[in-house]
Amino acid sequence: MSNIKEEIARRRTFAIISHPDAGKTTLTEKLLLFGGQIQVAGAVKSNKIKKTATSDWMEIEKQRGISVTTSVMEFDYEGYKINILDTPGHQDFAEDTFRTLTAVDSVIIVVDSAKGVETQTRKLMSVCRMRNTPVIVYVNKMDREGRDPFELLDELESELQIAVRPLSWPIDQGARFKGVYNIYEQKLDLFTPNKQRVTEKVEIDVNSDELENSIGEDLAYKLRSDLELVDGVYPEFNVQDYLDAKVAPVFFGSALNNFGVEELLNCFVKIAPSPRPVQAVERMVSPEDSKFTGFIFKITANIDPNHRSCVAFCKICSGKFVRNTPYRHIRLGKDLRFSSPTQFMAQRKSTIEEAYPGDIIGLPDTGNFKIGDTLTEGELLHFKGLPSFSPEMFKYIENADPMKTKQLAKGIDQLMGEGVAQLFVNQHNGRKLIGTVGQLQFEVIQYRLENEYNAKCRWEPVSLYKACWIESDDAAELEAFKKRKYQYMAKDIEGRDVFLADSNYVLQMAQNDFKSIRFHFTSEF
């Protein structure tokens, strides 16, 4: 049993989140570089190097330079086992990111030093607050002209509604950027721009003359007074406050130039939480429970385009997962065994024999899984907290090639199973309607149908305001509502009733006229 305890203690499972373009994928890559998983980082922006970022493996991501699915990567670092989930920053894929946050124990937020806190960062932080997830902030792009560090810290506190504590401090910025002083380890790290190699570290006492020799008199004076101010304004760093999600440690650096990344990683592995207990409907599940439990938080179709396979990502909550052991699929009420569970390093995946709490494993899926499914050694458990949000954009999906009807049906089925978007079937005319939270998802669906399933679709516009799930204890009233709103009734893939309101006014009227009907705006009720 002590073996399981040791394995749990050395696991760190976290997500990297940010607004698009703050440098999230670049940071992920540099962490992999330090973890010895990749030898050369793919310059994400540069077209000279045709190596694209390791964590963006889907064709459309390579063409657009943005991440549209959450990638899972794991590596060992100084005795710790690290599981990173790199999430899409683009708001059209926010739903994927919200669900990913249910599978991690802590979060690193990347902020652009020039732009500060942006919309998407605020939204994601609100999810972390809801779940009391500990966060660390990495202020990126210090090698470009940006804002004053103190001003940035104030903005982080007010916008993210959390106290902050800098654990490193920048020495100037932009073209004059000299490096950072690592407050956590009390070392000076001098900056030399280099995308491939790592900068030297100097152990310097801030109050000695060596500081002047390293960075010059003016900067040495400024650094000392800044550090004094930091100590005066911010309380001493307390790990427990960070774990309780009351304080966010802040690091400064430049991910593209490998700078400040190792400091972040070294501090992170020491202070970040190991796997935490997870709340199920029936009880609290502790990682140290002897029996295996886990839940599916993401499904990806076609990780390998040569085999039309889906992979369900399972977060292990307790016990030890062993290959080829039968586990109970709670929703289907049957036992499944997995002969080739995998762990990922972006696209490279390897079959594993066993996995522990905090690990994320890929289970080959032939249509058995839906997002939110629970696996156990027989105990009836249901993990909650994986909602689908009410979509705000809708289009009818039509077959553009009658010869490929089967392929289109299969493609829609698998992609909807991933939770990329939601499928509704209109009860009035039987047409299929796709609902998403962002425009870009329609392009992704069309692209993937064509490239992965050899099926062509075309979109037809439809003006709807919102889809909401309805239920009522009064069967007669529900029936009356469905009759009156016949043209606007649909079913989702679970066969639940969905009302497609074509305007806010219509929705409010419906809520007023039918008092005993409950209208839900997430699928989890």
> Mean pLDDT over residues 452-466, rounded?
88
Mean pLDDT of the chain: 80
What pLDDT, on a 0 to 100 scale, did the predictor assign at position 365? 79
**Where is 519: in which H helix or E strand?**
strand 517-520
Separation CA 499–CA 507 (nearest Å): 9
Superfamily of domain 2-271: P-loop containing nucleotide triphosphate hydrolases (3.40.50.300)
**Helix/strand/coil for 445:** helix
Q: How far is CA 438 from CA 93, 395, 420, 425, in A?
A: 7, 12, 10, 20
Q: Which structure tokens are listed for 434? A: 């796709």
- Domain 2-271 and domain 278-376, same fold? Reply is yes
Domain-by-domain residue ranges, the chain? 2-271, 278-376, 393-520
The pTM score is: 0.74
The alpha-helical segments, DSSP class H, found in 248-318 are 261-271
The model's pLDDT over 354-398, given as tens digits with 9 standing for 90+, comes to: 889 988 888 887 778 887 888 998 888 887 755 566 677 899 999
**Architecture in CATH for domain 278-376:** 3-Layer(aba) Sandwich (3.40)
Per-residue model confidence (pLDDT) at position 389: 64
Top-confidence residue, 329 or 186: 329
511, with CB counted inside 10 A (0-12, 13-18, 19+), is middle
> 193-236 pLDDT, tens per residue?
665 555 566 666 666 677 777 777 888 888 888 888 888 888 88
Query: Residue 49 — pLDDT band, cuts 50, 70, 90?
Result: very low
Looking at the domain that runs over 393-520, which CATH code has it been given? 3.30.70.3280
The whole-angstrom distance between residue 435's C-alpha and the CA centroid of its chain comes to: 21
Q: What percent of the chain has pLDDT over 70?
A: 82
Contact, 178 vs 219, CB < 8 A? yes
Q: Which residue has the higher pLDDT, 466 or 206?
A: 466
- CB 407 within 8 Å of CB 377: no
Q: What share of the chain is helix, strand, coil (3-state, %, to 5)?
A: 30, 30, 40
pLDDT digits (tens, 9 = 90+) for 244-262: 989 999 999 888 887 888 8
Does 327 score more than 90 pLDDT? yes
The answer to whether 432 touches 391, Cβ cutoff 8 Å, is: no
Whether residue 470 contacts residue 518, with contact meaning beta carbons closer than 8 Å, is answered with yes
Question: Beta strand 293-301 with 374-376: parallel, antiparallel or unpaired?
Answer: antiparallel
CB 110 within 8 A of CB 16: yes
440: Cα within 13 Å, side-chain hemisphere: 15
Strands (DSSP E) found in 253-290: 278-279, 284-285
- The pLDDT, as a whole number, for residue 240 is 93
CA 249/CA 107 separation, integer angstroms = 11
Confidence of residue 177 (pLDDT cuts 50, 70, 90): confident
Percent of the chain surpassing pLDDT 90: 15
Q: What local confidence, expressed as pLDDT, does residue 65 receive?
A: 45
Residue 490: the pLDDT is 92
* Mean pLDDT of all residues in 51-70: 48
Which pLDDT value is given to residue 326?
92
- Please report the pLDDT score of residue 66 as a whole number: 43
Residue 524 has a pLDDT of 60
Nearest to 83 by CA among 253, 241, 314: 314
